Amino acid sequence: MSMPFSFLPDTEPPLSPPDFEARLRAIGRSSYHDRHPFHVLMNEGKCSREQIRGWVANRFYYQAQIPIKDAIILSLCPDRELRREWIRRIHDHDGTGEDPGGIERWLMLGEAVGLSREELLEQKHLLPGVRFAVDAYVNFCRSHSWIEAMASSLTELFAPSIHQTRIDAFPKFYPWIREEGLRYFRKRLTQAPKDVSFTLRLVVDRCRTRAAQEAALAALRFKCELLWSMLDAMYMAYVLRIQMPAPDGP
């Protein structure tokens, strides 16, 4: 676990805001999970129904933890105005008013690929590696500074393209997936850019020392790594067909 940036020494001058932003964006170009072999297979129409369902079921655990990690960030953030902005992320996923929220839309995706709500809510298909990676993300947000936790969410810089790819690929390659299952991705095409515009400005503005900038960069790399690790677990289980054996006895 890395130290909060306030305890890191400043040994170099800070990056200029444009250079800092460029380095943040470069992480996504090199490390975002759209390049993972599992995603490549899925987006090229080479996944089986079992593999698609496995991805949907395991990704649901990540979706369900998003408002929890955002609530942790809120609890750490001392700035009232920032909390008023950040809380919208919880509403986006948990739902508010007439908007059912992203978690409900992912449950609809589960039903669209042939999974029951109970299978997702009861985590019947959750792989240990996925649980470990997602829990590590929640713990990262709990144990680091609020600005580092916010910086880790900048993977949303790269998310709209992957959502659009799914919107294009699923009807083409997997016509058995019901159309209503794509609502989550369509909604995130507008939500994610709004979220990331605020967060990017905030991180670039608040991280003014080199130590703070390096900590934000490390947080974003960590987030990319855990998203990649989730897919490693799914690739091993659903493509290589290797899973942890069930324990013997009670």
What SS3 state is found at 42? helix
The pLDDT score that the predictor gives to residue 11 is 75
**What domains can you pick out in the chain, each with its CATH number?**
14-238 (1.20.910.10)
Say yes or no to pLDDT of 2 above 60. no
Residue 29: what pLDDT?
A: 85
pLDDT in tens, 44-88: 999 999 999 999 999 999 999 999 999 999 999 999 999 999 999
Q: Is the pLDDT of residue 181 over 90?
A: yes
Residue 247's pLDDT is 65
Q: For residues 248 and 129, which has the higher predicted lDDT (pLDDT)?
A: 129
Which has more pLDDT, 106 or 190?
A: 106
Can you tell me whether residue 48 is helix, strand or coil?
coil
What integer pLDDT is reported at residue 69 of this predicted model? Answer: 98
Report phi then psi at 13, rounded to 5. Answer: -65, 155
C-alpha distances in Å from residue 246, one per residue of 3, 105, 219? 37, 31, 34
In whole angstroms, what is the distance from residue 127 CA to residue 237 CA? 8
The pLDDT of residue 249 is above 70: no
DSSP character at residue 177: S
**Model confidence band, residue 8 (pLDDT cutoffs 50, 70, 90):** low
With tokens 């991705």, the residue in question is: 185
DSSP 94-151: H-BTTB--HHHHHHHHHHHTT--HHHHHTTTT--HHHHHHHHHHHHHHHHS-HHHHHH
Predicted pLDDT at 142: 97
What's the predicted TM-score (pTM) here? 0.91
pLDDT tens readout for residues 14-36: 999 999 999 999 998 889 999 99
Q: What angle do CA 113, 28, 107 make, to 5 degrees?
A: 20
pLDDT band for position 133 (cuts 50, 70, 90): very high
DSSP state of 174: -
Residue 28 has a pLDDT of 85
What is the percent of the chain with per-residue pLDDT over 90, rounded to a whole number?
86
pLDDT at position 248 is 64
Mean residue pLDDT across the chain: 93
- How many angstroms from the chain centroid is the CA of residue 68? 13
- Looking at this protein, which amino acid is placed at residue 101? G
Cβ atoms of 233 and 38 within 8 Å: the answer is no
Tokens of 203: 């991180």
What whole-number distance in Å separates Cα of residue 221 and Cα of residue 228? 11
Model pLDDT, residue 3: 43
Tokens 């067909």 locate to 241
C-alpha distance from residue 76 to each of 134, 183, 196, 232 (Å): 19, 32, 20, 31
Note the pLDDT of residue 195: 86
4 confidence band (pLDDT: 50, 70, 90): very low
Residue 95 burial class via C-beta count within 10 angstroms: exposed 0-12, middle 13-18, buried 19 and up: middle
